[in-house]
Amino acid sequence: QKEVEQDPGPLSVPEGAIVSLNCTYSNSAFQYFMWYRQYSRKGPELLMYTYSSGNKEDGRFTAQVDKSSKYISLFIRDSQPSDSATYLCAMATGGSNYKLTFGKGTLLTVNP
């Protein structure tokens, strides 16, 4: 079983739709949870960062972490064509030996 599982999609939605992206994980030592967005031919860029269970909102984006279920989500409200990209979840343990463990990414296309 991989440490982080993410449905690769692809996911295609109409403009204005609410998008839900999800990851599950098996390592209970993960404490830090991130979502990255990667446009074609670019490196990933950090979208959201959360520590501990709960919700965090930033504009149209909401990140949700449920540590008891080992499940994290990213919601995108009022999706725009410019949101079309690959979304990667990433997780890390604490301490000096930490490293980011990524999901494989979900390819999202928002159609105008």
Binding site for other proteins (CB under 8 A): 31-32, 36, 41-46, 49, 51, 88, 90, 92-94, 96-105
**At 70, which amino acid appears?**
K
Q: To the nearest whole angstrom, how small is the minimum distance from the Cβ of residue 78 to other proteins? A: 26
Q: To the nearest whole angstrom, how small is the minimum distance from the Cβ of residue 32 to other proteins? A: 4
Q: Which residues of 45-63 are buried (b: 16+ CB within 10 A; e: fewer)?
A: eebbebeeeeeeeeeebbb
| Strand pairing category for 61-66 and 54-58 | antiparallel
Q: To the nearest whole angstrom, how small is the minimum distance from the Cβ of residue 63 to other proteins? A: 15
Whose Cβ is closer to other proteins: residue 68's or residue 96's? 96
